[in-house]
Chain A
Amino acid sequence: MARGDADAFDFLYDQVAASVFGIVRRVVRDPAQSEEVTQDVLLEVWRNAAKFDAERGSATAWVTTLAHRRAVDRVRSVQKEADRERRIATAVIPYDEVAEAVEANLERERVRRCLGSLTELQRESVTLAYYGGYTYNQVASLLGVPDGTVKTRMRDALIRLRDCLGVSE
């Protein structure tokens, strides 16, 4: 690979690898599988760098969207009931306790505060879906509410989060 490409990818790795590994770990749980998925995601970023389109969102969103999709695909392909229950328990952690589990981080603090501003149903829908890897139908049956309600709560929750986090488009 050309020198400039290597430099650029090296730099990109330093910027995004922790977010990619973090979200993959949260969803996949298993450390060895998480490393595998993280490596696949970063290589996919490398291969498809030309497809990145700044008009359609930030580079970080492009990368983390890919990471989350691949992590979810991985857990759904090996979904087992026991594993699923374990993940329900862990999916809810981020709002309450994750702060002391890992080093202090401004971004984490801000996200925690914004999750705290959601209604309970919104927050549970988001954490089960995004961190737990569940579909909205699964979330609906876990929470005992209609599918349609969960769908709209998810959308409302993300809009509120987006505004709370000060995301500029």
Chain B
Amino acid sequence: MSKRERDEHTLAGPYAMDAISGPDRARFERHLAGCGECAREVASLREATSRLAAATAISPPPELKERVMAAAAATRQQPPAAEPRAVGRRWHARRRVRIRLVLAVAAAAVAVVAVLFGVNNGVMRDQLNHDQASSQQVAAVLTARDATMKTGTVRGGGTVTIVMSHSMRQLVFTAADLRGLPAAGRYELWLAGPAGDRPVTMIPASHHGMAGPVVASGLRPGDHLVLTAEPSGGTSRPTTPIMFDVIL
């Protein structure tokens, strides 16, 4: 390996932080295209810089969201890169764009949840191990070809996001901004439908109102997903109040 080539590899750190400009950036990008080792390293270092960014998080002014949503509504999405014979298959291409976006969104949500239930909190981690789905299970649903997403509002406060795959008969449930329940109460998730009511899981005590991701399996046609508030010991049938109900 020449000295020049050795030097190239050491630019991964500066490049991952955009601490490189002009000719250096262009040169390193040419190197990256042909060096799998550097490409992998840059990707993994960017997971670290992404956390440096998250640590600065502040809510933008609410008007910004309106402006961005309005601008997005008027902006055409790019088709996926390198789509062979895309002509005459527009429907497929467009559908794929949407699925990719849902995927990106859901992956972001899972990452955010992982951060909130982070590695430092032993109690949370145990709950993750026991009550919550492994990230592989979650990822399997999110990457299903027929993955679709629904969002809804929880009575009393909070939003629910569901990504489901009917072909896998599974869904991933997450909630944000859930209102706290009295000490003896817990949220519980159910599948209800022609086949009867089945408990999915008690939702672990929410952390800043975030809950999930939880995987529910065994979806059947005509099922509803129901969220109730129950005594912390759980019940065999859903009681009241029903906080959220959606037909799947």
| A111 → chain B closest CB, angstroms | 4
Cross-chain contact B151 with A18 (CB below 8 angstroms)? no
What CA separation (Å) do A64 and B16 show in the bound complex?
Answer: 11
Q: Is the interface of B mostly helix, strand, loop or mixed?
A: helix
B88-113, CB under 8 A of A: which get 1 and which 0? 00000000111011111101110110
Q: Smallest distance from the beta carbon of A10 to chain B beta carbons, Å? A: 7
Cβ contacts under 8 Å, A12 to chain B: 101, 104-105, 108
Q: A141 near B: Cβ within 8 Å?
A: no
User: Is chain A's binding surface mostly helix, strand, loop or mixed?
Assistant: helix
Interface size on A, residues (CB 8 A): 89
List B contacts of A152 (CB < 8 A). Answer: 10, 13
Q: Distance (Å) between the CB of B103 and the closest chain A CB?
A: 6
Indicate whether A119 reaches chain B with its CB closer than 8 angstroms: no
Q: Which residue of B lies closest to A18 (CB)?
A: B57
The count of A-to-B residue pairs whose CB atoms sit within 8 angstroms is 269
- Chain B window 29-60, contacts with chain A (Cβ cutoff 8 Å), 1 for yes, 0 for no: 00000000000000111111111111111111
CA distance A25 to B53 in the complex (A): 10
In the complex, chain B residues whose CB is within 8 Å of the CB of A42: 68, 72
Tell me which of A23, A43, A67 contacts B72 (CB under 8 A).
A43
Complex contact B54–A64 (CB within 8 A): yes
28 A–B pairs (Cβ distance < 8 Å), ordered by A: A1-B73, A7-B150, A10-B69, A11-B105, A11-B109, A20-B53, A22-B54, A22-B56, A23-B52, A43-B68, A47-B76, A47-B78, A49-B97, A50-B79, A50-B97, A50-B100, A51-B80, A54-B143, A56-B43, A59-B107, A64-B50, A106-B116, A131-B56, A150-B14, A158-B16, A159-B45, A162-B44, A166-B119
List chain B positions with a Cβ less than 8 A from chain A: 10-14, 16-21, 24, 43-61, 64-65, 67-69, 71-73, 75-81, 96-98, 100-105, 107-109, 111-112, 115-116, 118-120, 143, 148-151, 161, 176
Interface residues of A (CB under 8 A from B): 1-2, 4-23, 25-26, 35, 38-39, 42-43, 45-52, 54, 56-65, 67-69, 72, 76, 94, 98, 102, 105-108, 110-112, 126, 129-131, 133-136, 139, 148, 150-159, 161-162, 165-167, 169
